[in-house]
Amino acid sequence: MKVLADEGDSPDKLIIIGINRAGDSLVRFSPDLNNRIDTIHFEANSNKKIAELIAKGESHLNISFGNKDDIVKNSYGSFHIAQMLCQKVCILDNILNTQENKITTTSSYASVLNSLFSDQSRIFFSVAKIFATGSKLRKEGRAPYLHILKWLAESNDWSLQLDTAIVQHPEQKASVGQVVEKGYLDDLMSNHAEELSEYIHYDSITRTISVEDPKFVFFLRNIYWSKFARQIKYIKYEDTTKYDIALSFAGNDRNLAELIFQYLSENEISVFYDVNEQANILANNVEEYLLPIYQSEAKFIVPLLSDNYPKRLWTKFESEAFKSRFGENSVIAIWFSNTPSSLFDESRKYGGITFEVDRKIEEEAYRISNLIAEKIRISKLEQEV
């Protein structure tokens, strides 16, 4: 493109046809191209055009679709989807050729949708399941890939810019942000290219995920997401709290906190960990930012109760914010084995975990994280009942 533009040979023209917004990385790669190109958008067809298409079919078959308005509305501007819906109506009403006498179809849109969705599921369910599961099913996790797929289904232009979507869904910021930032989504697309690449495109440079097959779009937009999550074996994919866990610790114990954060995050559990929030905290009143997290925005508080904990200013502030939550069964205390039990008498009334300081910290952090993950799994099962 740059060579053609620099040569200035007017007969030459380069035309690139691609999925919505997938070409943005070209401009990111070479910003000066932005002023040398024109973008032509192929917009969705209007409802009027969809209705005209259906009218031609009605005329040819000598029929009238009784559910025409529903077909138009649910075609999402796609001639192809409209044709699929009309074909399904005709099959259900046993209209296989032009009618001698004009008739009106009687199949309800609900029956048409159920039948067509069932047909599409044979092709697309496995694709959606592979993507929504991610590299490994984490039953206790926040299902970040499933949320990405759901947000994509809700997008008007069949594409989703993930940074924007994360801002719009703050309750999933930690879990979805993790799979995007650490390249896990990119790895998923690479490792399952054979199954996914025909239907889903991901540009890791612009962090834009797109689909172009209207049949797959139709399938995604008609998924019953709660049922789909259960079919995949997720315990509960919708969460009312911003974080599953909020860590509270003295700076001297950051090595343990870091390991617990890493292990829990690998299980797709949303963790408030101060290092991850530094950019968000900048320019904010720190107390005002932290207070709601420890009071209500985290499902469980995990304080690391070493002999350093009561000596630090911020741990005093955090513990004051969450102390009433002991009675709500939402504080999981981690007691250091070399700390006198009398130092945290109040916390001993509730179940917690002892960190054995004489053992390998990696093994202890892994053990503690597994117990916390199991507690989250149990709490989600209880919410489902």
- Structural tokens at position 361: 């910290």
Which tens digits make up the pLDDT trace of 302-346? Answer: 999 999 998 888 899 999 999 888 888 899 999 999 988 776 777
pTM above 0.85, yes or no: no
Q: What is the mean predicted confidence (pLDDT) over 345-353? A: 83
Mean of the pLDDT values across residues 252-264?
A: 94
Percent over 70 (pLDDT), the chain: 91
pLDDT at residue 83 above 80? yes
Q: What sign has the CA pseudo-torsion 219, 221, 226, 229?
A: positive
- Is residue 239 a contact partner of residue 251, using CB atoms and an 8 Å limit? no
* Cα–chain center distance at 371: 25
| pLDDT tens digits, one per residue of 144-203 | 999 999 999 998 878 899 999 999 998 888 889 889 988 999 999 999 999 998 899 998
What is the model's pLDDT at position 242? Answer: 87
Q: How many CB atoms lie within 10 A of CB 368?
A: 23
pLDDT at 384: 61
| Residue 158: per-residue pLDDT | 84
> What tokens appear for 384 in the block?
């489902």
What pLDDT was estimated at residue 237? 72
Q: Provide mean pLDDT across the span 36-45.
A: 71
Residue 369 has pLDDT above 90, yes or no: yes
Mean pLDDT, rounded, for 364-380: 92
Q: How far is CA 219 from the centre of its chain?
A: 17
- pLDDT, residue 295, reads 92
Amino acid in position 328: E
Distances (CA, A) of 287 to 5, 124, 283, 300, 316: 55, 48, 12, 19, 12
Query: What is the percent of the chain with per-residue pLDDT over 90, rounded to a whole number?
Result: 55
Distance between CA 72 and CA 70 in Å, rounded? 5
pLDDT of residue 186: 93
Average pLDDT of every residue of the chain: 88
pLDDT (0 to 100) of residue 121: 93
**Residue 144 to residue 173: CA distance in whole angstroms:** 9
Query: What's the start-to-end Cα distance of the chain, in Å?
Result: 59
Among 39-53, 89-103, 263-277, 310-324, the minimum mean pLDDT is found in: 39-53
E-strand stretches of 207-322: 208-211, 243-248, 271-272, 298-305
pLDDT at position 24: 66
pLDDT at position 382 is 76
Q: Tell me: the pLDDT tens digits for 276-291?
A: 888 788 888 888 889 9
Q: pLDDT confidence of 41, banded at 50, 70, 90? A: low
